[in-house]
């Protein structure tokens, strides 16, 4: 513990950073002005870390005191967090009205595009690209999630990255890219027009690529990085096309211009807008790893675990959701939206439903702890997409109340999921880290090749070795599963119920996503429980487990904080009416407060609302969900993977109760099932990779070969021809420079005579 | 001819001519101070000895061979600051031949600024050493010659710096001249000094040869120019620029005397700005001279030529709006030949100094193309002003990146290299800062945003395009039919753009060898602190003058000065 104390003493170094915001406050800045700090401080810090790393690598102060830049990164992210909290504090209860007032700060009118008209005259237009901040409940929620998790995960990284000798002298790259990524996320959330949103979106894509390939010498990591980059690129191209189309319609990409009246007084053609939004949605599909562009996310787990936690679970993958959420004004017919876009909602809901189900199914057979979480992320994001799809559908039909509920529930689920999944990844990182160390300790570093510290088949019985991690992971899993009263329960319920509502009362086609998300709820219960039981319950499956200790500094604190938030945050925010609040930009009530006058009344109201809704259909759906996710999934998982701890081992009270409970369901042999064709197909991820590779080999590669030939032969050929002609011209011209003064004077005379002839010609 | 007037050196005139008087004082100081000695004069019949300072053995403090360089640098610094501060002051006539106004002061600042950089570089390029040893009998031949060359360098300090200041004096007065005669005399004052400076290293064969060639071709061109001037005098009976302008405006048709006079003066000025085909001696001169002097020729000397062109072409013979002047076609042809010739020849140059010389020819072509647009009569007052601002701005920032590039070569020359492309190999590894600066200079010469070379080229092309693009038919339905109708002047802009693309090849090639070639084994580059500082200052200003407040300040300064030129 002594060492632990001195490690935390390093936090002294981030004090200068943390002093920035209070200092500006005392200078009379207000929070909207200082919002630029949220992006600016990381923007200044990341090159500093990269350059300083190159200069001071191996230097003692740099390594031990500044953690190879980690402390600087933590300081910068701390500043962002403080500025963000300030902004949230100032605005969360006084959100400006929907409309152009949401653009709270506008610093710079940067570029105005002059348009070349068909008659070759230039017209200045209103198409100004400014730098500004857009604030509504979505911004505030996502900004808080991003800054808070970036800070905590950076904190976690200090323990995770800096204690692994393989990262020595390379951590500055990690922290530099981490900070660059963070600024991309913050900037995207704050942006007040789609162009900036896109720019920051791409910054995140770049950092994702760099960080997945952090261990670039591993072939699999390099491959995964390329795959992630290229797959998301497919989506990004569509997004770009979508933005072009949007610009074509509105002549601007500023939120304040576009959202003011998206139908332009009824002048917007809904088909054109539909295609623009669909293109943008494909971009979101790529970023958020949804079917059919989902293939990159599981491979992205090749990156260091904090990266998986941050980018591929808690923040970047939410960018797609954020983009889709921003589409609401276009379809909200109660608010100048364009009618006739309900197919968009349906498509989004279907993509969500299919992804949710498929990812959950694949998660059944994964043995790598991070891969389970990766598929779980895909599945949970798909829930939110389904919810947003339903919301868009409701908005487009002016079913205002239902729309607000499901939109708010989706955003609330985003919040719950980000908190829980960020923490789950960190917890899995903790497990991997300690197992890896224990293995190194046991085998003195040799025998690395045949031991996989991420494989859950090497674990089991860790509940007693890692009490904090086990508890954290239990709470996180419960939140994801949606165990009643915990975290994600409050939001997931809303999504499933409202999707069913849409299907039953309005649109029969919605039944597909509705059934899929309902089934997925049960499957979530199974695969999350399976992961937890395999890791923490039962007897140790390898001798390494007995040497695991939970003692690396910097790792526990974020876990504890996030455990508390996951356990109680969902309930607390649900009581305060988070779903209404989060949809406040689009018709919700806009204030975070108790529904009834006293806490007890509010709790009773909420419980009644959740468990005994007045609508008969909702009640059935709700209880089916609870039954599937709470009872069926976990019990089945316990029967397969549960088990008592080894004799003499004990864990924290709730955890040990859960473990012993899991042992009571007996065990079921699933060997025959796990050897079936279906299991094999799932294990091969339903052959999507093979399919894509086959298609690419048939189409893209021949075209690429042709393009390469064209480039070599035609384009290079022309350039080479120009070059060789220029060179021979050059040599000829240079022969005129003989070096003899007589020739020079001759040339001067020739020039003089030419001038005389020319002037004579003009004058006569 | 107006009377030359009385030059009363009262305090007001003295203030108006402050930079010139400072330089004059600098010349006197360089002559006098190093000769101060401890000689005394004994009053007859007494033992009282009065020190008279002249003669005897030299004092310890005046014996320092580095003194002339310091005096010159100080002189230029003071004169530069004075010129810069005087840009905003009102226009003052001096003695009927000179006028100090914003235009002339901006240019004297450009000239003296360039000379200041040259003098900072010379500290290391022609170093002076205290306590230089005299060769002994038993020294080997090498040692002896090295010692002798150190002694030679020490001895030449005074000559070199006097010449340098004379260049400044000539150029600065030239910018102020309101009389064609005075203008030509001042150009010759500056030119004669540069001829000697080019040939300054007389023990090296190339230097002497280059100087001689430059002198011969230059004097031939000057002779033609002076002959043209005499024709103008025959025509007008006066050489004051104002009366020449009035006379030209009143002229019916085109008087052959006037036309030939102007045409022949073009030869002299064409040589100064190194326009084809009068530029041929320039590459030889640049590669023969020491690099700072080459830089001086490529920037200050060229700017001087352009001031003369402004005075003659724009002030005397500028056509009215809508009328094509007699020299438009001639200048446009010269401009296109010049830029193409310069760029083509630079492509295969293996000597960086020659390459920069040809690049400087190409830049002259760009600027001549812009001037010729004024002659096309399409520009109008606004367009003329825009083009003049562009050229003046270009001449000002050229001091930063063209001279900066020559200073980098000067740094290499302190190690005895810098005349082969191989000398730049691997500079990026050995001297990252210097190589980075050189890279910046090359990008700026090529006109890459956001550097100042881009801004100046943009202003120039913008001036040409906005003058000529309106001539294109507005009813044209596609680009091709529009291209058919647009005035040929528009294609001057296209020529500049195509030439710039061509020029990128050799600018980037030089950058490429600095960063991607293996360095040759060679003596270490000297530390040369003030030279390095000058290079750094140039590179920082190259960036600052391209974007942001500094560039806006400079453009507004140039704009003020052009206002004062155009009255």
pLDDT tens-digit readout, A594-624: 777 777 888 888 788 777 777 788 888 888 8
For residue B266, being part of any structural domain is answered with yes
For residue B2, being part of any structural domain is answered with no
**Averaged pLDDT of chain A:** 83
Report yes or no: B565 at the A interface, CB cutoff 8 Å.
Answer: no
Report yes or no: B567 and B242 within 8 Å, Cβ to Cβ.
Answer: no
Q: What is the mean pLDDT of residues A194-221?
A: 90
Q: Which of A49-63, A237-251, A453-467 is predicted most confidently?
A: A237-251
Query: Nearest CA to A523 among A637, A428, A669, A422?
Result: A637
Q: Are A752 and B267 a contacting pair at CB < 8 A?
A: yes
Report yes or no: A111 and A129 within 8 Å, Cβ to Cβ.
Answer: yes
Interface probe with A: pick from B329, B345, B450, most Cβ of A within 10 Å: B345
The rounded distance, in Å, linking the Cα atoms of A60 and A72 is: 16
Nearest to B348 among A734, A754, A755 (CB): A734
Interface probe with A: pick from B259, B288, B484, B509, most Cβ of A within 10 Å: B259
The rounded distance, in Å, linking the Cα atoms of B498 and B494 is: 6
Our CA angle for A291, A292, A293, nearest 5°, is 95
Report yes or no: A213 and A301 within 8 Å, Cβ to Cβ.
Answer: no
Our CA angle for B540, B541, B542, nearest 5°, is 90
In this prediction, residue A106 carries a pLDDT of: 64
- Strand, coil or helix: A127: strand
Structural domain boundaries, residue B385: 11-566
- Strand, coil or helix: A129: strand
In this prediction, residue B2 carries a pLDDT of: 43
Residue of chain B minimizing CA distance to A732: B345
Report yes or no: B271 at the A interface, CB cutoff 8 Å.
Answer: yes
Query: Nearest CA to A423 among A462, A493, A478?
Result: A478
Residue of chain B minimizing CA distance to A738: B280
In this prediction, residue A95 carries a pLDDT of: 63
Q: What is the mean pLDDT of residues A746-754?
A: 91
Chain B segment 76-135 residues within 8 A of A by beta carbon are: none
For residue B68, being part of any structural domain is answered with yes
Q: Rounded to whole angstroms, what are the CA distances from A34 to A137, A151, A200, A320, B277?
A: 18, 18, 19, 27, 61
HSE on the CB side for A595, CA within 13 Å? 19
Nearest to A120 among B212, B264, B482 (CB): B482
Q: Are B348 and A730 a contacting pair at CB < 8 A?
A: yes
Our CA angle for B561, B564, B566, nearest 5°, is 110
For residue B5, being part of any structural domain is answered with no
Chain A residues close to B216, C-beta within 8 Å? 741, 744-745
Taking the CA of residue B327 and the nearest CA in chain A, the distance in Å comes to 7
| Count of C-beta atoms within a 10 Å radius of residue A310 | 31
> What is the 3-class SS of A686-708, one letter each residue?
HHHHHHHHHHHHHCHHHHHHHHH
Interface probe with B: pick from A111, A116, A120, most Cβ of B within 10 Å: A120
Residues 6+ away with beta carbon under 8 Å from A160 = A304, A305, A306, A429, A430, A433, A552, A554, A555
Q: How far apart are the first and last CA of chain A?
A: 102
In this prediction, residue B6 carries a pLDDT of: 56
Say if residue A226 is exposed, middle or buried (CB neighbours under 10 Å; 0-12, 13-18, 19+): middle
Q: A473-508 in b/e burial notation, b at 16+ Cβ within 10 A?
A: bbbbbbbbbbbbbbbbbbbbbbbbbbbbbbbbebbe
Q: Is the pLDDT of residue A242 over 50?
A: yes
The rounded distance, in Å, linking the Cα atoms of A384 and A317 is: 12
Query: Nearest CA to B434 among B355, B549, B519, B500?
Result: B519
Q: Are B284 and A755 a contacting pair at CB < 8 A?
A: no
In this prediction, residue B8 carries a pLDDT of: 62
Q: Which residues of A lie closer than 8 Å to B, measured between beta carbons?
A: 119-121, 723, 726-727, 729-731, 733-734, 736-737, 739, 741, 743-745, 747-748, 750-752, 754-756, 758-760, 762-763
In this prediction, residue A294 carries a pLDDT of: 87
The rounded distance, in Å, linking the Cα atoms of B210 and B291 is: 13
In this prediction, residue A107 carries a pLDDT of: 62
| Token digits of residue B176 | 């102020």
Residues 6+ away with beta carbon under 8 Å from A45 = A72, A73, A75, A76, A179
Nearest to A755 among B212, B221, B267 (CB): B267
The rounded distance, in Å, linking the Cα atoms of B395 and B391 is: 6
Q: What is the pLDDT of residues A701-745, one digit of tens each?
A: 899 999 999 999 999 999 899 889 988 988 988 888 888 888 899
Q: Is the pLDDT of residue A568 over 70?
A: yes
The rounded distance, in Å, linking the Cα atoms of A362 and A377 is: 12
* Confidence band for A2, pLDDT divided at 50, 70 and 90: very low
Interface probe with A: pick from B205, B271, B330, B358, most Cβ of A within 10 Å: B330
Residues 6+ away with beta carbon under 8 Å from B460 = B366, B367, B369, B370, B387, B390, B391, B394, B496
Nearest to A762 among B217, B254, B271 (CB): B254
DSSP-derived secondary structure letter, B481: H
Taking the CA of residue A720 and the nearest CA in chain B, the distance in Å comes to 12
Q: What is the mean pLDDT of residues A306-315?
A: 85
Q: Are B281 and A744 a contacting pair at CB < 8 A?
A: yes
Residue of chain A minimizing CA distance to B331: A755
Q: What is the pLDDT of residues A643-672, one digit of tens each?
A: 777 777 777 788 888 888 877 776 777 777
For chain B, which ranges sit under pLDDT 70? 1-9, 203, 473-474, 476, 523
Q: Are B345 and A734 a contacting pair at CB < 8 A?
A: yes
Query: What percent of chain A lies above the pLDDT cut of 90?
Result: 18
Nearest to A759 among B216, B330, B346 (CB): B330
Q: Are B347 and A744 a contacting pair at CB < 8 A?
A: no
For residue B185, being part of any structural domain is answered with yes
Q: Rounded to whole angstroms, what are the CA distances from A533 to A309, A548, A572, A609, A651?
A: 21, 17, 28, 32, 14
- Strand, coil or helix: A427: helix
CA dihedral A362, A365, A368, A373 (to 10 degrees): 40
**What residue has token string 């949710």?**
A356
Chain A residues close to B471, C-beta within 8 Å? none
Residue of chain A minimizing CA distance to B477: A119
**What residue has token string 């031991």?**
A451
Taking the CA of residue B280 and the nearest CA in chain A, the distance in Å comes to 6
Q: What is the ipTM of this complex?
A: 0.88
The rounded distance, in Å, linking the Cα atoms of A403 and A337 is: 14
Nearest to B283 among A737, A747, A754 (CB): A737
Chain B residues close to A755, C-beta within 8 Å? 263-264, 266-267, 330
- Sign of the torsion formed by the C-alpha atoms of A490, A491, A492 and A497: positive
Q: What is the pLDDT of residues A343-360, one digit of tens each?
A: 898 999 999 999 999 999
Chain B residues close to A741, C-beta within 8 Å? 212-213, 216-217, 281
Lowest-confidence range among A33-37, A235-239, B392-396?
A33-37
Q: Are B221 and A748 a contacting pair at CB < 8 A?
A: yes
β-partners of residue B42 are B49
- H or E element, residue B355: helix B352-375
For residue B1, being part of any structural domain is answered with no
In this prediction, residue B1 carries a pLDDT of: 39
| Count of C-beta atoms within a 10 Å radius of residue B379 | 25
Q: How far apart are the first and last CA of chain B?
A: 23
Q: Are B277 and A747 a contacting pair at CB < 8 A?
A: yes
Report yes or no: B253 at the A interface, CB cutoff 8 Å.
Answer: yes
The rounded distance, in Å, linking the Cα atoms of A546 and A697 is: 48
Nearest to A751 among B267, B345, B349 (CB): B267
In this prediction, residue A445 carries a pLDDT of: 56
Lowest-confidence range among A8-12, A591-595, B465-469?
A591-595
Q: Are B347 and A730 a contacting pair at CB < 8 A?
A: yes
Q: What is the pLDDT of residues B409-431, one digit of tens each?
A: 999 888 777 778 888 888 888 88
Query: Nearest CA to A665 among A691, A632, A692?
Result: A632
Q: Rounded to whole angstroms, what are the CA distances from A23 to B189, B332, B465?
A: 62, 62, 51
Q: What is the pLDDT of residues A61-116, one digit of tens each?
A: 787 777 888 888 999 999 999 999 988 888 877 665 544 566 666 665 555 555 54
- H or E element, residue B94: strand B92-94
Q: What is the mean pLDDT of residues A512-532?
A: 89
Chain A residues close to B266, C-beta within 8 Å? 755
For B98, phi then psi, to 5°, come to -125, 150
Q: Is the pLDDT of residue A689 over 50?
A: yes
Could you give the number of structural domains in chain B? 1
Q: Rounded to whole angstroms, what are the CA distances from B535 to A28, A544, B161, B410, B440?
A: 43, 63, 21, 10, 11
- DSSP for A550-596 reads ---TTSHHHHHHHHHIIIIIHHHHHHTTHHHHHTGGGTS------SS
For residue B3, being part of any structural domain is answered with no
In this prediction, residue B296 carries a pLDDT of: 95
- DSSP for B169-194 reads HHHHHHHHB-BHHHHHHHHHHHHHHH
In this prediction, residue B81 carries a pLDDT of: 95
Q: Are B267 and A723 a contacting pair at CB < 8 A?
A: no
Question: Helix (H) and strand (E) counts for chain B?
Answer: 22, 4
| Token digits of residue A291 | 């079917």
Q: Is the pLDDT of residue A117 over 80?
A: no
The rounded distance, in Å, linking the Cα atoms of A629 and A484 is: 10
Q: Is the pLDDT of residue A123 over 80?
A: no
For residue B513, being part of any structural domain is answered with yes
HSE on the CB side for B79, CA within 13 Å? 33
Report yes or no: B352 and B421 within 8 Å, Cβ to Cβ.
Answer: yes
Interface probe with A: pick from B262, B329, B344, most Cβ of A within 10 Å: B344
């Amino acid at each position: 513990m002594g060492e632990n104390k001195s490690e935390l003493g390093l936090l002294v170094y981030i004090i200068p950073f943390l002093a920035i915001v209070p200092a500006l406050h005392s200078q009379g800045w207000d929070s909207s002005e200082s919002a630029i700090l949220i992006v600016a401080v990381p923007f200044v810090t990341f090159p500093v870390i990269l350059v300083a790393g190159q200069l001071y690598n191996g230097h003692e102060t740099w390594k031990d005191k500044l953690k190879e830049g980690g402390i600087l990164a933590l300081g910068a992210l701390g500043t962002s967090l403080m500025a963000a909290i300030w902004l949230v504090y100032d605005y969360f209860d006084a959100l400006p009205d929907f409309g152009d007032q949401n653009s709270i700060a506008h610093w710079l009118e940067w570029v105005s595009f002059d348009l070349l008209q068909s008659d070759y005259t230039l017209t200045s237009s209103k198409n100004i690209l400014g730098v500004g901040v857009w604030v509504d409940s979505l911004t505030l929620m996502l900004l808080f999630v991003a800054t808070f998790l970036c800070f905590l995960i950076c904190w976690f990284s200090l323990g995770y990255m800096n204690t692994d000798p393989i990262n020595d002298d390379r951590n500055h790259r990690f922290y530099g890219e981490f900070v660059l990524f963070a600024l991309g996320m913050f900037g995207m959330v704050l942006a007040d027009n789609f162009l900036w949103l896109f720019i920051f979106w791409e910054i995140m894509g770049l950092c994702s690529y760099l960080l997945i390939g952090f261990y670039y010498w591993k072939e699999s990591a390099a491959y995964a990085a390329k795959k992630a980059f290229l797959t998301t690129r497919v989506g990004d191209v569509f997004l770009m096309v979508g933005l072009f189309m949007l610009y074509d319609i509105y002549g601007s990409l500023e939120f304040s211009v576009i959202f003011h009246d998206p139908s332009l007084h009824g002048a917007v053609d809904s088909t054109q807008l539909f295609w623009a939004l669909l293109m943008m949605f494909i971009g979101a599909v790529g970023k958020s790893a949804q079917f059919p562009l989902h293939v990159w996310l599981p491979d992205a787990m090749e990156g260091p675990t904090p990266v998986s936690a941050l980018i591929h679970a808690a923040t970047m993958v939410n960018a797609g959701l954020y983009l889709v959420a921003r589409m609401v004004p276009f379809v909200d017919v109660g608010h100048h939206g364009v009618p006739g876009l309900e197919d968009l909602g349906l498509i989004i809901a279907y993509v969500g439903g299919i992804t949710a189900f498929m990812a959950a199914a694949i998660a059944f057979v994964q043995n790598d702890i991070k891969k389970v979480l990766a598929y779980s992320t895909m599945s949970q994001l798909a829930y939110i997409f389904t919810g947003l799809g339903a919301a868009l559908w409701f908005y487009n039909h002016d079913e205002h109340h239902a729309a607000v509920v499901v939109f708010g529930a989706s955003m609330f689920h985003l919040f719950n999921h980000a908190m829980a999944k960020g923490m789950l990844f960190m917890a899995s990182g903790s497990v991997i880290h300690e197992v890896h160390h224990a293995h190194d300790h046991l085998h003195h570093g040799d025998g690395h090749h045949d031991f996989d510290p991420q494989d859950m088949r090497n674990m089991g019985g860790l509940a007693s070795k890692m009490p904090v991690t086990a508890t954290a992971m239990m709470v996180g899993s419960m939140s994801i599963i949606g165990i009643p009263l915990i975290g994600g329960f409050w939001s997931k319920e809303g999504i499933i119920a409202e999707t069913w509502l849409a299907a039953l009362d309005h649109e029969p086609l919605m039944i597909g996503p509705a059934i899929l998300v309902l089934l997925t709820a049960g499957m979530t219960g199974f695969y999350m429980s399976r992961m937890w039981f395999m890791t923490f319950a039962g007897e140790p499956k390898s001798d390494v487990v007995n040497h695991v200790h939970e003692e690396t500094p910097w790792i526990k604190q974020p876990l504890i904080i996030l455990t508390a938030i996951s356990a109680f945050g969902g309930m607390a925010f649900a009581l305060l009416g988070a779903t209404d609040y989060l949809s406040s930009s689009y018709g919700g009530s806009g204030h975070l407060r108790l529904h009834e006058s006293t806490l007890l009344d509010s709790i009773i109201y909420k419980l009644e609302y959740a468990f005994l809704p007045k609508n008969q259909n909702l009640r059935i759906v709700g209880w089916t969900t609870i039954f599937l996710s709470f009872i069926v999934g976990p019990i089945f998982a316990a029967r397969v993977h549960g088990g008592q701890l080894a004799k003499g081992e004990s864990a924290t009270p709730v955890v040990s109760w859960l473990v012993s409970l899991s042992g009571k369901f007996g065990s079921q042999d699933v060997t025959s099932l796990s050897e079936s064709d279906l299991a094999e197909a799932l294990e091969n991820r339903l052959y999507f990779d093979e399919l894509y590779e086959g298609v690419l080999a048939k189409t893209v590669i021949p075209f690429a070969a042709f393009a390469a030939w064209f480039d070599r032969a035609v384009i290079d050929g022309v350039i080479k021809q120009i070059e060789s002609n220029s060179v021979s011209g050059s040599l000829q011209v240079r022969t005129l420079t003989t070096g003899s003064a007589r020739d020079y004077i001759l040339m001067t005379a020739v020039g003089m005579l030419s001038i005389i002839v020319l002037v004579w010609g003009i004058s006569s | 001819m107006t009377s030359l007037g009385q030059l009363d050196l009262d305090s007001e005139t003295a203030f108006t001519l402050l930079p010139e008087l400072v330089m004059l004082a600098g010349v006197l100081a360089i002559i006098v101070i190093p000769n101060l000695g401890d000689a005394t004069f004994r009053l007859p019949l007494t033992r009282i000895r009065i020190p008279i300072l002249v003669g005897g053995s030299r004092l310890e403090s005046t014996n320092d061979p580095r003194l002339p360089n310091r005096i010159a640098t100080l002189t230029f610094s003071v004169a530069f600051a004075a010129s810069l501060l005087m840009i905003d002051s009102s226009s003052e006539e001096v003695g009927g031949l000179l006028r100090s106004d914003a235009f002339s002061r901006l240019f004297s600042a450009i000239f003296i600024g360039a000379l200041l950089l040259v003098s900072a570089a010379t500290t290391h390029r022609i170093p002076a050493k205290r306590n230089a040893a005299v060769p002994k009998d038993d020294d080997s031949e090498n040692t002896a010659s090295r010692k002798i060359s150190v002694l030679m360098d020490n001895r030449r300090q005074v000559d070199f710096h006097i010449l340098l200041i004379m260049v400044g004096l000539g150029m600065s007065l030239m910018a102020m001249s309101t009389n064609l005669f005075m203008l030509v005399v001042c150009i010759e004052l500056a030119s004669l000094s540069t001829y000697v400076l080019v040939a300054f290293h007389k023990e090296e064969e190339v230097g002497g040869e280059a100087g001689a060639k430059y002198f011969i071709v230059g004097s031939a061109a000057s002779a033609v120019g002076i002959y043209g001037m005499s024709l103008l005098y025959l025509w007008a009976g006066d050489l004051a620029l104002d009366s020449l302008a009035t006379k030209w405006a009143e002229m019916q048709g085109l008087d052959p005397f006037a036309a030939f006079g102007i045409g022949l003066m073009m030869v002299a000025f064409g040589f100064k700005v190194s326009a084809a085909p009068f530029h041929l001696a320039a590459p030889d001169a640049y590669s023969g001279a020491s690099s700072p002097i080459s830089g001086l020729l490529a920037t200050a000397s060229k700017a001087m030529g352009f001031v003369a062109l402004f005075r003659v072409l724009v002030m005397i013979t500028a056509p009215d709006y809508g009328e094509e002047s007699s020299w438009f076609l001639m200048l446009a042809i010269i401009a296109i030949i010049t830029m193409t010739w310069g760029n083509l020849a630079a492509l295969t140059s293996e000597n960086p100094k020659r390459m920069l010389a040809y690049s400087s020819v190409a830049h002259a072509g760009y600027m001549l193309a812009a001037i010729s647009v004024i002659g096309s009569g399409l520009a109008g007052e606004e367009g003329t002003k825009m083009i003049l601002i562009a050229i003046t701005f270009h001449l000002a920032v050229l001091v930063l990146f063209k001279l900066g590039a020559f200073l980098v070569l000067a740094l290499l020359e302190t190690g005895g290299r810098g005349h082969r492309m191989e000398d730049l190999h691997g500079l990026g590894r050995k001297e990252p800062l210097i190589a980075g600066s050189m890279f910046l200079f090359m990008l700026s010469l090529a006109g890459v945003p956001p550097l100042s070379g881009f801004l100046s080229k943009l202003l120039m092309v913008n001036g040409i395009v906005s003058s000529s693009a309106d001539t294109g038919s507005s009813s044209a339905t596609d680009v091709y039919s529009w291209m058919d109708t647009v005035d040929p002047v528009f294609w001057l802009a296209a020529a500049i753009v195509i030439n710039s693309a061509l020029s990128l090849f050799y600018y980037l090639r030089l950058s490429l060898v600095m960063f991607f070639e293996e360095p040759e084994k060679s003596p270490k580059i000297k530390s040369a602190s003030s030279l390095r500082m000058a290079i750094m200052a140039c590179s920082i200003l190259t960036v600052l003058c391209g974007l942001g407040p500094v560039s806006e300040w400079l453009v507004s300064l140039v704009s003020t000065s052009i206002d004062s030129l155009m009255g």
